[in-house]
């Protein structure tokens, strides 16, 4: 007879998750120490929330008192579309082509949690999708879903790195996974070599302040730093370069989640349209989209910079 953990994994697969791991809520001591060092080096930039209550990020029992188990899941979001290289358009990061992943992953996690509670009335828990103070990638590594690549994204041997991570904290004991995935990056430096701004300052360490994704999404300044603005490489929202060049993404497979398909079949946006967009048009166009994160002002700022720079990066 399958264990409860095995049954949970089977149910998670039925709901649509590609990978699932179950581990105990033991503190992430080494990972917590690395996070502290990263914060002390100022690599989080203006993301002040990263520095709040860092102890919660390494010990989920502080996030959910009584938590005993962590279920970690991975959801594939790769779709068979490519970016359009057009100087009149700005590229959108692949993760934001479709519906907001927070909504999609959370819906699936809530469905799984409801099933767990129905199977075990003593079970209770909390679903976490990116916004909770959880070290999602570290938990995914501990749960055996994959390894942390030199670009700091989780890589799986089965489907590459185009995945979203979610988790469920539970107040019950389960049967735990103990196997982890060996780091298969080896001597490869493709992601470090390809990053146009040198944001991957050393293997496994990203300085957000140099990152195109951080600048175009999280930075709230009226203008982008010159060293980033001159090297946007056509990116309007986010950046996929380090994942595009990763050899492990030769194993990418098309997701069966239709909500991740590009809205209006667009993988990029006309820059002039963005610059002329009204607030009402913005709200309507990006309702339930991850692109809301950068707000209209940030999107227009990014479009303005792209319009000022030709494809070669010369002002």
Catalytic residues: 130
Residue closest to 288 by CA, chosen among 255, 257, 260? 260
CA distance 239 to 181: 26
**Would you say 134 and 60 are in contact if contact means Cβ atoms under 8 Å apart?**
yes
Q: How many CB atoms are located within 10 Å of the residue 273 CB?
A: 14
Instruction: Give the DSSP letter string of 216-270.
Output: III---SS--HHHHTT-TTEEE---HHHHT-GGGGG----S-GGGSPGGG-SEEE
């Amino acid at each position: 007879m399958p264990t409860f953990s095995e049954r949970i994994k089977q149910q998670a697969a039925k709901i649509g998750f590609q990978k699932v791991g179950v581990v105990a809520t033991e503190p992430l001591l080494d990972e917590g120490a690395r996070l502290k060092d990263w914060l002390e080096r100022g690599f989080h930039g203006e993301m002040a929330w990263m520095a709040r209550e860092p102890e919660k990020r390494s010990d989920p029992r502080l996030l959910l008192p009584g938590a005993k188990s962590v279920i970690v899941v991975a959801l594939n979001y790769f779709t068979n579309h490519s970016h359009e290289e057009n100087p009149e358009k700005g590229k959108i990061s692949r993760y934001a082509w479709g519906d907001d992943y927070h909504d999609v992953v959370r819906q699936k996690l809530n469905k799984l949690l409801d099933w767990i509670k129905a199977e075990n009335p003593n079970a209770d828990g909390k679903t976490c999708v990116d916004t909770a103070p959880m070290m999602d990638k570290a938990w995914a590594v501990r749960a055996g879903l994959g390894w942390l690549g030199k670009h700091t994204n989780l890589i799986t041997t089965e489907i590459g790195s185009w995945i979203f991570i979610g988790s469920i904290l539970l107040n019950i004991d389960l049967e735990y996974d103990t196997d982890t995935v060996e780091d298969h990056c080896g001597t490869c430096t493709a992601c470090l070599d390809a990053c146009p701004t040198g944001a991957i300052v050393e293997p496994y360490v990203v300085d957000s302040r140099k990152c195109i994704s951080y600048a175009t999404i999280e930075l709230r300044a009226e203008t982008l730093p010159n060293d980033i603005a001159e090297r946007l490489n056509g990116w309007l929202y986010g950046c996929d370069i380090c994942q595009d060049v990763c050899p492990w993404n030769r194993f990418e497979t098309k997701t069966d989640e239709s909500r991740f398909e590009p809205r209006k079949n667009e993988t990029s946006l006309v820059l002039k349209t963005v610059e002329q967009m009204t607030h009402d048009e913005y709200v309507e166009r990006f309702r339930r989209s991850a692109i809301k994160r950068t707000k209209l002002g940030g999107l227009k700022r990014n479009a303005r910079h792209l319009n000022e720079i030709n494809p070669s990066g010369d002002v």
